[in-house]
Amino acid sequence: MTFRRRRVALVVAAALVGAAGPAATADPEHTGREGAPCAFVELTGVKSRALGPGGTLGYLAGGPFAGDGTLTCSVQYGAAAHSAPDAAAASASGTDVVYLTPTRVSVSSTTGEKYFCTKWTPADGSPALYLTALDWTADPSAPCSSSVGATGSELGRVTLLPTPPPPPVPVYPRGTITLSQQIGGFTIQRTGFAPTGVWGCSDSGFRYTCEPPPPEPGTYYVCGGVAVTVNNNSAGTVIGRSGCGSGVSAQATAGPFNKAIATARPRSGFPVWCEAEPDVLAFSFWSVECAFGA
């Protein structure tokens, strides 16, 4: 191996492990999508009868890239354009950060110069972007990055690719709050609260608010849905409201000797709250039940 080929091979190995390498500079309309370009590592010494004498096995990997979309990595032989046929390809989709972990692929022919191709498809439906040696472009006929042959001894370094932590898992706390005004006075009742633990709850007038205990590591809370049921056996009118955080709330209004139900999907954080608004004639014999969960 000449000095020039050894130097370039080290650059590709650095890109594979996420170290300093030829970083991709995003265009002004797609800033923040910078990461290690795609690369292909051949499994030397591995032969398969199904692949034929010119075939090989290997791993494709690339990223991480910031954004919502799909990262496609491919390798080509004898071609130099993103629009040319791929010898092998693999992709990964996600939100916030997208990363193609080392993915095993097979190549039936390795004739010609090798090229690594990096494609980004935004989730918002905007045109796909293709990485050249210098920048991103929307032109699929643009050239892929020229390969420098990361094979053999570089294979072991694939396992050192920085694997981002798994995304946090949503957890949907649930429970029921009932505000009730009867002859004996005003009461507040909580039932079915989950997760277990100490909830921070407080009341102010006919409003009751609760904050769940801290989430477990690797999780986060989401208030998926709320419902409010107003049972009114008075001569007045009672309004019931249920919500979470700053998300949309559910509101139901029950007239004299009536019942009303409403639901909403806040899809927000906490705290959860339940509120009753009786008029002057609804001095007793009513209840407002607020339920929250997924």
Tokens found for residue 33: 């999508």
Res 287 pLDDT > 90? yes
Confidence of residue 8 (pLDDT cuts 50, 70, 90): very low
Q: What is the pLDDT of residue 146?
A: 66
Candidates 70, 84, 212, 228; CA nearest to 143 is 84
Q: Which of 83-87, 133-137, 269-273 has the lowest mean pLDDT?
A: 133-137
Res 10 pLDDT > 50? no
Contact 225, 271 (CB under 8 A): no
Candidates 105, 112, 111; CA nearest to 54 is 111
Cα–Cα distance for residue pair 241/69, rounded to 1 Å: 38
Contact 154, 12 (CB under 8 A): yes
Confidence of residue 12 (pLDDT cuts 50, 70, 90): very low
Q: What is the pLDDT of residue 132?
A: 84
Q: What is the pLDDT of residue 7?
A: 28
Res 114 pLDDT > 70? yes
Residue type, 179: L
Candidates 114, 100, 122, 121; CA nearest to 144 is 114
Q: What is the pLDDT of residue 285?
A: 96
Tokens found for residue 112: 């010609």
Q: What is the pLDDT of residue 283?
A: 92
Contact 155, 40 (CB under 8 A): no
Tokens found for residue 114: 């090798």
Res 21 pLDDT > 70? no
The size of the chain, in residues, is: 294
Residue 240, burial from CB neighbour count under 10 angstroms (0-12, 13-18, 19+) = buried
Q: Which of 168-172, 184-188, 193-197, 239-243 has the lowest mean pLDDT?
A: 168-172
Mean of the per-residue pLDDT values for the chain?
79
Cα–Cα distance for residue pair 252/232, rounded to 1 Å: 11
Q: What is the pLDDT of residue 251?
A: 97
The structure's pTM equals 0.49
Q: According to DSSP H, which parts of the chain are helical?
A: 3-16
Cα–Cα distance for residue pair 2/140, rounded to 1 Å: 33
Q: Which of 13-17, 140-144, 216-220, 224-228 has the lowest mean pLDDT?
A: 13-17
What do you get for the CA distance between the two ends of the chain, in Å?
A: 60
Confidence of residue 92 (pLDDT cuts 50, 70, 90): very high
Candidates 227, 210, 221, 242; CA nearest to 172 is 221
The larger pLDDT score, comparing residue 269 to residue 228, is at: 228
Phi, psi (rounded to 5 degrees) for 159? -65, -10
Contact 69, 118 (CB under 8 A): no
